Structure 1
Amino acid sequence: MNSASTDSFETVAGPRETGRGWALARYVVAATLVRSADGGAVVAIVLLAHASGLPGWIAGLLGASITAPHLLGPFIARRLDTAQDGRKVIAISALVHGVLLGAAGLLLPVTWAVAPAVLLVVSGLFGPMLTGGVSSRLPSIAGPSQRSQRRAHGWDVASYGLSGTLGPAVVAWIVAGPGPLTATLVLAAAAIIGAGGVLVLPRQDPPLSAVDVPLPGRTLLAIGRSGPLRRTLALTITVAFSVAVLPIYAVAVAPSLGGAALAGTLVAVYGIGSLAGSALLMAWPLRGDSDRLTPVLALVVAASLAVVIVVPGLVTSLVAFGLAGIANSLFFAATLAARSEYAPVEARGQVFIWVGALKIAAGSAGTAVAGALIGVTWLPIAVVAGLTAVSATVCAVARRRQSQR
């Protein structure tokens, strides 16, 4: 009896696990395509504006036209939680993003900058759907066990790392050949192809009625009332603000390490560290309560940032940047786990998008603050390392007090 049951379980579970593996592979491909389009768009548009003879301040505004609307993403995210098929919402978002990005690229060299800027603003509105919105589909793909969920988060972190590296890298490679317009159109095509990839992902269970799905403001209040989600949001914002300082610091410190061109090498090594961290997560998924893991790993990020400013020489700086990338990947995976495990089912998509949108805003603020403080080279890193350590400690103490109650 037991033997037969075991045989039956194996024949059923084997194909089921294989199916989940293929679904996860499709997820990674689709997510990387749409996120590469979102991640590389700013670089492509800014380079295209320069090639079109526009002044630097207009190029900067055009780049901001893509990123700034991410903050408004949560206000259209409710549709993701109320739709009968959330895949269609994400696919349409990717399609619109790609079409408008391509149209803006075609118009930019031949018309006033305001016309492509309007298209880019609308395109940017859908950016959060391609980041947090896509991630909200992962729990239904990965399987029910915590280990399978955590391993899938490692793949999701890899998708972010690949797109964050691949998008700008592809743009730079194409710009050096056919030019920035071609690069922009390639990114637009990636978003459109990625939309098709989203449609072939497994379908999630039907949502609750639209009446049960909270409005964006209520969702943000719900995040604030939930201890684990509140801490996840606070630490996500803090760490995003902090690691955004690294590229500015790399530019400032590179001349003392051997040449200004080394700034790109330092940032590239950070990206390699991020990918290495995602590989570690695939092999050894995080274990334990995600609400406990997030402050612990935020402290690890703070420690890695402190190491960056104390190590001497090029080789040790490269190692430090790589370790910072690994630490940030581990922390990011913990935040994805916390969002998956603590978000209410009726607002899961909105929770993912709220956290993702505020993370992007925090990263932009971190870059701006770093630029203001970089007159003293080590100061920005020291400030954000201390800020991250304090935030992680406060969240850890708050969690302990909540558990004691």
Structure 2
Amino acid sequence: MLLVTGSGAPGWHAGLLGASITAPHLLGPFVARSLDTARDGRRVIALACVLHGATFAAAVLLYPHTWPVVAALLLAASGLAGPLLTGGISSRLPAIAGPGRDSQRRAQGWDVATYGLGGTIGPAVVAAASSWASPTVAALILTAATFAAAALVGLLPYAPPLAAGLDVPRPGRTLALMLASGPLRRTLYMTVTVALSVAVLPIAAVVSTDRLGAGPAAAGILVAAYGLGNLAGSAGLMLRPPKGDADRLMTGFAFAVAAALALLVVADGFVVTAVAYAAAGILNAGFFAATLAARSEYAPRQARAQVFVWVGALKITAGSAGTALAGAGAVALGSDRAPAAMALVLTTACAAASILDRRTARRPGHPTSRPRTGFRDGDSSEGH
């Protein structure tokens, strides 16, 4: 974005390039199968790091000298590798943390923290490097970090392929398995809904500053409060990993996120609003960790990486939709409280639906009340 605006190009160029690197995440499930079939998944992730960094750097360097569509195609290739660097790495947590549930959930807290740190440090590096040099230099610094990550991936513990000797399903069949499994189905739609809901918060921060009697810069403080809350929640998860069934934990944290959104809807003062943002960050960290636990504990062995990437890809798409919905809602309804109110309704309805879904699936004779083949022992659709 800085590269485009600094060159004097029209704003639609920035939108095109931004969409080019995020939209390909939807294709993530179609490349994730390589992780489930590879003899050493670390090599697949390392190759994805190199591809991601090389195509990103090429797009940045060529943009001023060629047609925007060339940079867009290179960024699309970069974005296609993205899901392997998020859900792909997260799918390896059991190999890193060991078989114990507490150690895995502590590792999931670390995983949540890496997203928060990346989302904080990355923009800070870009802002600093762009101010003393240029956006191109900032992009190349990020590229160098990606190449370093390719080397560091080799330090992760080796894990033999879980799908050895098993029929690794195609992406469409994997999605069907997820929808047929009660816990994975709920993981999917709750992750999508909560991601959409929390994505409205930056827009809500911008449109609410006038009502709160604060300047436009106060929106940054509110968003920072959310980010700090997310990091604090991640730290808490590392120190005290959540106990209990991951399926129910997701529902509980979804209701808790809804409670933070409700506080945001009714808050009038700036301090209370900032507290609501921080609470939303803390509780969303818990929800994110619960979804990681659910993906890890309920995924079929032969499609673990695909499950992680399917959920992650749809989560990113939902986040984009949430941002668009927040902006449209604030304009159409003429209320700065509208984005948070819409998010509150969606999150509460989704959490309530998960309870009904779980109870319905337990009724005798219901198709999902019976164990399904292809899942690990204890990972049948409603066996928990």
Give the TM-score taking structure 1 as reference length: 0.87
**Offset at residue 255 of structure 1 (A):** 3.0
The 1-side partners of 2:146 and 2:271 are apart by 37
Moved more, 382-391 or 80-89: 382-391
> Aligned-residue CA RMSD in angstroms?
1.1
1:98 alignment partner in structure 2: 53
For residue 65 of structure 2, give the secondary structure of its aligned residue in structure 1. coil
* Matching residue of 2:355: 396
Structure 1 residues 199 and 358: alpha-carbon distance in aligned structure 2, compared to 1, 3 A threshold: same
Contact 2:45-2:153 at 8 Å conserved across structures: yes
Match of 1:342 in 2: 298
1:101-140 to structure 2, matched below 5 A, reads: 101-140=56-95
Give the SS at the match of 2:244: coil
What CA distance in whole angstroms lies between the structure 2 residues aligned with 1:188 and 1:402? 47
In structure 2, C-alpha distance between the alignment counterparts of 1:216 and 1:82, rounded to whole Å: 13
**Partner in structure 2 of residue 300 of structure 1:** 256
Aligned letter for 1:388?
Answer: T
Greater than 3 Å deviation, 4+ residue runs: none
Provide the residue aligned with 1:283 in structure 2: 239
Shift of 1:256: 3.1
Q: Per-residue deviation at 1:284?
A: 0.8
1:320 to 276, 291, 315: 276
Aligned ranges 1:21-170 → 2 under 5 Å:
46-170=1-125
Aligned partner letter, 2:3: L
Higher helix fraction (1 or 2): 1
Which whole-Å deviations, capped at 9, do the CAs of 1:363-396 have from their partners, x for residues lacking one?
0001111110113211121111111101101101
Q: Corresponding residue for 1:230?
A: 185
Aligned partner (choices 116, 132, 137) of residue 182 of structure 1? 137
Out of 223-232 and 196-205, give the one that drifted further.
Answer: 196-205
Shift in Å, 1:270: 0.5
What are the superposed Cα offsets for residues 152-202 of structure 1, whole Å, 9 maximum, x if unpaired?
110001111111111112111211211111111111111111111111100
- Opposite residue 317 of structure 2, the aligned amino acid is A
Matched position secondary structure for 1:212: coil
Contact persistence 2:209–2:215 (CA under 8 A):
yes
Q: Percent identity?
A: 58
The Cα of 1:239 is off from its aligned counterpart by 0.2
Q: What is the CA-CA distance between 1:229 and the residue it aligns to?
A: 0.1
Contact 2:112 / 2:289 at 8 angstroms: preserved in 1? yes
The question of whether the paired residues in 1 share the 8 Å contact of 2:50 and 2:150 is answered with yes
Of 349, 368, 371, which aligns to 2:327? 371
SS at match of 1:126: helix
* 5+ residue gaps, structure 2: 365-384
The amino acid of 1:187's aligned partner reads L
The alpha-carbon deviation at position 210 of structure 1 amounts to 7.3
Q: CA deviation at 1:205?
A: 1.7
Q: Is 1:265 matched with 2:224?
A: no
The alpha carbon displacement at 1:211 in A equals 6.1
Asked whether the equivalents of residues 84 and 207 of structure 1 are also in contact (C-alpha less than 8 Å), the reply is no
Amino acid at match of 2:318: A
Other structure's SS at 1:144 match: coil
Per the TM alignment, residue 310 of structure 1 is displaced from its structure 2 partner at its CA by 1.1
Query: What TM-score does the superposition give when structure 2 sets the normalisation length?
Result: 0.92
Instruction: Specify the alignment match of 2:371 in structure 1.
Output: none
Q: Corresponding residue for 1:21?
A: none
CA–CA separation in structure 1 for the residues paired with 2:16 and 2:272 = 37
Residues 9-49 of structure 1, C-alpha deviations (whole Å, 9 max, x = no match): xxxxxxxxxxxxxxxxxxxxxxxxxxxxxxxxxxxxx1111
Aligned pair count reads 360
**Cα separation, 2, equivalents of 1:313 and 1:186:** 40
**Alignment partner, residue 202 of structure 2:** 247
Q: How many angstroms apart in 1 are the aligned matches of 2:63 and 2:339?
A: 36
CA contact (8 A) 2:163 2:303 kept: no
Q: Distance in 2 between matches of 1:260 and 1:300?
A: 29
More deviation in 185-194 or 255-264? 255-264
The whole-number CA distance in structure 1 between the counterparts of 2:226 and 2:128 is: 20
Deviations 1:31-72 (CA, angstroms, capped at 9, x unpaired) = xxxxxxxxxxxxxxx111111221111111111100001001
- CA separation of 1:207/1:143 partners in 2, compared to 1, >3 Å: closer, same or farther? closer
> 1:404 Cα shift?
5.2
